[in-house]
């Protein structure tokens, strides 16, 4: 169901480094967008106050009367329960375990609030207004510092039985593989995240006794430019990452048979060196019937995916409640 273009909602994309907020219309126009550093080091109370005063500032900046804002959608670092809006101990935020963020914001703002984990919000935004627009089944894989994911089936986020669905980064790709931050080993994230790629390059450099390479602060940009200058060792690590990603996408294709898998985040800047072996691996491993309709695309909205997804989350909640 479409929301009317003259419905306006507040949308917040709360990240570990920056928080972006805007007012978004029912047809996805972004108004009054601002970005500020997230005050996540100062504890829960300071951060709550930061979020609330930032939200009020955006409403003022939009010049809409508060009653015209139909609700607020928030993308927040998980894990969290989107149904109740309770946050469960995000790794980068101390003092946030069991915090009923949705209820706190609803009490303060006097409007309906929806909370999504950040990967789901990015997926929802990209499905609504980005690469996935018009699809009915859409999977978004976020390849950033970590690897996250969001699953949209029949035009709705799929949360699973306990809100854990979409954790594609922690599906096992290699038995007895590299230890992952989650405690498992061989997870997709341990290889295909920015951290996973940088660590693997660093390990090979140190095995080869390349002191300069180890001393240099390795970034994805640096790795990418070394690969394009013909560094064969780095090229082969990126190609291996493409193959590993291809295994993950082939698993998704066979399991869910989606119309589209969109890749999002800094790792996608590695370009064709990563994508070519990935596509070949998907074709090699998945059923032809599943890969024929499958489009694999790079996400389109960049930094705006989270904001638009947070907006769509509350718009869906509002239209559900109007229908009920
Ligand atoms: Zn893991």
Q: Encode pLDDT of 225-252 as tens digits.
A: 999 999 999 999 999 999 999 999 999 9
User: Any idea which architecture 136-298 has in CATH?
Assistant: 2-Layer Sandwich (3.30)
Distance 324 CA to ligand 1 centre (A): 39
**pLDDT tier, 3 (very low <50, low <70, confident <90, very high otherwise):** low
Report the candidate in 220, 286, 288 with the shortest Cα–Cα distance to residue 248. Answer: 286
**pLDDT tier, 1 (very low <50, low <70, confident <90, very high otherwise):** low
**pLDDT tier, 79 (very low <50, low <70, confident <90, very high otherwise):** confident
Q: What is the pLDDT of residue 231?
A: 93
Distance 75 CA to ligand 1 centre (A): 22
Tell me whether the omega of the peptide bond preceding residue 141 falls within 30 degrees of 0, making it cis.
no
Distance 169 CA to ligand 1 centre (A): 6
Q: What is the pLDDT of residue 184?
A: 96
**Domain 8-123+303-323 belongs in CATH node 3.30.420.40:** yes
Distance 171 CA to ligand 1 centre (A): 7
Rounded to the nearest 5 degrees, what angle is found at the Cα of 245, between the Cα atoms of 240 and 162? 145
25-76: pLDDT as tens digits: 999 999 999 999 998 788 899 999 999 999 999 999 999 988 899 999 999 9
Distance 179 CA to ligand 1 centre (A): 8
Question: What b-and-e string marks burial along 229-267, b requiring 16 or more CB atoms within 10 Å of the CB?
Answer: eebeebbebbbbbbbbbbbbbbbbbeeeebebbbbbbbb
- H/E stretch holding 8 reads strand 8-14
Percent of the chain with pLDDT over 70: 97
Q: What is the pLDDT of residue 211?
A: 67
Distance 249 CA to ligand 1 centre (A): 16
Q: Which of 86-90, 175-179, 202-206: highest mean pLDDT? A: 175-179
| Residue 9 predicted with pLDDT over 90 | yes
Distance 263 CA to ligand 1 centre (A): 18
* Helix, strand, coil % over all residues of the chain, rounded to 5: 45, 20, 35
User: How many angstroms separate the CA atoms of 242 and 249, rounded?
Assistant: 10
Token pair, residue 32, equals 């009054």
Question: What b-and-e string marks burial along 169-180, b requiring 16 or more CB atoms within 10 Å of the CB?
Answer: bbbebeeebbeb
Domain assignments of the chain as residue spans, ordered by start: 8-123+303-323, 136-298
Distance 227 CA to ligand 1 centre (A): 27
CB–CB of 20/307 below 8 Å? yes
**pLDDT: which is higher, 213 or 73:** 73
Distance 70 CA to ligand 1 centre (A): 38
CB–CB of 262/132 below 8 Å? yes
Domains 8-123+303-323 and 136-298 share a fold: yes
DSSP 179: B
Distance 176 CA to ligand 1 centre (A): 12
Rounded to an integer, the average pLDDT of 195-223 is: 84
Instruction: Name residues whose C-beta falls within 8 Å of residue 314's C-beta, 6 or more positions apart in sequence.
Output: 9, 10, 11, 70, 71, 72, 73, 112, 113, 114
pTM of the model: 0.92
Distance 30 CA to ligand 1 centre (A): 35
The SS3 of residue 178 is coil
Q: What is the pLDDT of residue 89?
A: 82
Distance 91 CA to ligand 1 centre (A): 14
Rounded to an integer, the average pLDDT of 179-198 is: 95
| Residue 210 predicted with pLDDT over 80 | no
Q: What is the pLDDT of residue 306?
A: 96
DSSP 4: P
Distance 184 CA to ligand 1 centre (A): 5
Report the candidate in 8, 41, 36 with the shortest Cα–Cα distance to residue 21. Answer: 36
Distance 44 CA to ligand 1 centre (A): 27
| Residue 215 predicted with pLDDT over 70 | no
What CA–CA distances, in Å, run from 192 to 142, 200, 228, 232?
10, 10, 19, 18
130-167: pLDDT as tens digits: 999 999 999 999 999 899 999 999 989 999 998 889 99
Lowest model confidence (mean pLDDT) among 29-33, 75-79, 113-117: 75-79
| Residue 208 predicted with pLDDT over 90 | no
In the sheet that holds 99-100, the strands lie side by side as 80-81, 86-87, 99-100
């Amino acid at each position: 169901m479409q929301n009317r273009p003259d419905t306006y909602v507040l949308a917040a994309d709360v990240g570990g480094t920056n928080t972006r907020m805007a007012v978004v219309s029912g047809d996805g126009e972004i108004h009054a967008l601002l970005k500020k550093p997230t005050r996540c080091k100062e504890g829960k109370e300071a951060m709550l106050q930061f979020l609330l005063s930032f939200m009020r500032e955006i409403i003022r900046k939009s010049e809409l009367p508060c009653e015209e804002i139909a609700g607020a959608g928030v993308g927040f670092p998980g894990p969290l329960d989107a149904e109740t809006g309770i946050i469960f101990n995000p790794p980068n935020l101390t003092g946030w375990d069991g915090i009923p963020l949705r209820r706190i914001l609803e009490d303060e703002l006097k409007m309906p609030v929806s909370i999504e984990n950040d990967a789901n919000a990015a997926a929802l935004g990209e499905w609504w207004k980005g690469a996935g627009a018009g699809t009915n089944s859409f999977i978004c894989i976020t390849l950033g510092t970590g690897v996250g994911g969001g699953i949209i089936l029949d035009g709705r986020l799929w949360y699973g039985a306990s809100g854990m669905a979409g954790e594609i980064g922690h599906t096992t790709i290699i038995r007895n593989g590299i230890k992952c931050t989650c405690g498992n080993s061989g997870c997709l994230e341990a290889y295909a995240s920015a951290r996973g790629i940088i660590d693997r390059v660093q390990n090979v450099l140190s095995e080869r006794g390349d002191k300069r390479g180890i001393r240099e602060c390795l970034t994805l940009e640096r790795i990418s430019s070394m690969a394009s200058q013909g560094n064969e060792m780095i090229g082969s690590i990126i190609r291996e990452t493409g193959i590993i990603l291809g295994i993950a996408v082939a698993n998704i294709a066979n399991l869910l048979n989606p119309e589209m898998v969109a890749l999002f985040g800094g790792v996608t800047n590695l370009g064709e060196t990563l994508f070519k072996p990935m596509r070949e691996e998907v074709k090699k491993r998945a059923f032809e019937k599943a890969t024929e309709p499958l489009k694999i695309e790079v996400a389109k909205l960049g930094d705006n995916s989270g904001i638009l997804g947070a907006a769509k989350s509350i718009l869906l909640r509002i239209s559900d409640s109007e229908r009920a």
